[in-house]
Amino acid sequence: MMAVTQISGNGIELVERPIGRVLEFVAFHFPPEGAFVVGWPAAPGAVRHDTLGGPGLLHFAPARWLAPSPCAEIAALVAAAEEAAGTCVDVTGKWREFALGGPRAGRVLASAVNVEAVLEGRECAAITMFDCPCILVRVTDGYRIWVRSSFATDFIAAVQSLRLPA
């Protein structure tokens, strides 16, 4: 699936990005026990970037990491972790990925949450926005948002219907 622009205009760009296999790695215990593999994003809200520089492994909930479209490196990290400390679940189809950009991207999110407070001290946050469960990551050119699939259409409609005064 190609990247599909959902909303463009008024300083907002919401683009749905293609997403392939998606894994959730779940550790047996929180805080994770034993030594995790080197380079594992262990802190709450930590994000490990993949070889392309985008968010590759997200610690978005206690003992739960999201690996969207994992590159080889991230897949290897997850496989190594599974041996010792938890299980890997293939959740392909559960999350849809969006890129929110444009000068008013922050204002879009501010309609739902206090972005500054939510992302304080972390790179990713599990948050409900416009009644849709999401994972939010700030990236250089805006935000990356993973939305639970069954809510995705509603999420797009909510952003579309926002009235953002100049």
Partner 1 sequence: MNGTQRRGTRLTDTSLRFTFDGREYCGQVGDTAASALLASGVRAMGRSVKYRRLRGVLAAGPEEPNALFTVGTSPAVIPNVYAPQLELRDGMVLKSQNRWPSLKYDVASLLQVGSGFFGAGFYYKTFIWPSWHRWEATIRALAGLGEAPGTCELPPPAVEHFSCDVLVAGAGAAGLAAARAAARAGARVVLCEREPVCGGELEFEFATIEGRPALAWVDATLVELASLGVRVLTDTTLVGGTGGEYVAHHEPGGVPGANSVYKIRPVAFVIAMGAVERPIAFINNDLPGVMLLGAAERFLARYGVMVGSNLVLFANHDRVYAAATRLASAGMRVCAVVDIRDSGALGAEATAQRATLAQGGTECLLGYAVISAAGGSHVRRAIVAPLASPSATRVIACDVVLVSGGWGPSAHAGLQEGGTTRYEEGLAAFVAMDQPEGRENAGAANGLLELPRVLIDGAGAGTRGARRAGADGDPGATPIASGDPAPRLVPFWRSPADRAGEKRQFIDYQNDVNVADLRATLEEGFVDIEHVKRYTALGFGTDQGRIGGLLGAAILAELRGEPLKDVGTSRLRPPYHSVTMSSLAGLRVGARLRPMRRTPLHDWHLANGGVLEPMDLWMRTRYYRQNGPAVFEAGIAEAQRVRTSGGIVDGSTLGKIEVAGPNAAVFLDSLYLNKASTIKVGRSKYMVNLREDGMVLDDGIVLRLADDRFIATTSSGHGGHMLSHFEHYRDTEWSGRGVTVTDVTESWGVIVVAGPQSRTVLHSVLGAAWQPVLDTLTHMAFARGAFGGQDLTVLRASFSGELAFELHCRPSITVALWEALIAAGFKPYGLEALDILRVEKGYLVSSELNGETTPFDLCMDGLVKLGNPCVGRDLLDRPAFHESDRPRLVGVRALDGKAIFYGGAQLTTAEQPNRPCGYVTSSVYSPTLGEWVGLALVSRKQPEGAVLDCRDPVRIGDCRVRLTSMVHYDPTGERMKS
Partner 2 sequence: MTRLTCPFCGPRELREFEFHKTLPEPGSTPYARVYERVNRLDDSLEHWQHVQGCRGWLLVRRNPSSGAVLETVILGGGAQ
Identified binder of partner 1 from the candidate list 91, 104, 122, 139, rule CB under 8 A: 91
Residues 6 or more apart in contact with residue 139 via CB below 8 angstroms: 54, 55, 99
Binding mask of the shown chain, residues 66 to 105, with x at each position contacting partner 2 by CB under 8 A: ----------------------------------------
Residue 35 contact among partner 1, partner 2, none, beta carbon within 5 to 8 Å by kind:
none
Identified binder of partner 2 from the candidate list 23, 100, 126, 156, rule CB under 8 A: 126
Residue 1 contact among partner 1, partner 2, none, beta carbon within 5 to 8 Å by kind:
partner 1
Asked if 22 touches partner 2 (CB under 8 A), the answer is: no
Q: Which parts of this chain interact with partner 2 (CB under 8 A)?
A: 24, 26-27, 29-30, 44-45, 60-64, 117-118, 120-122, 125-128, 133
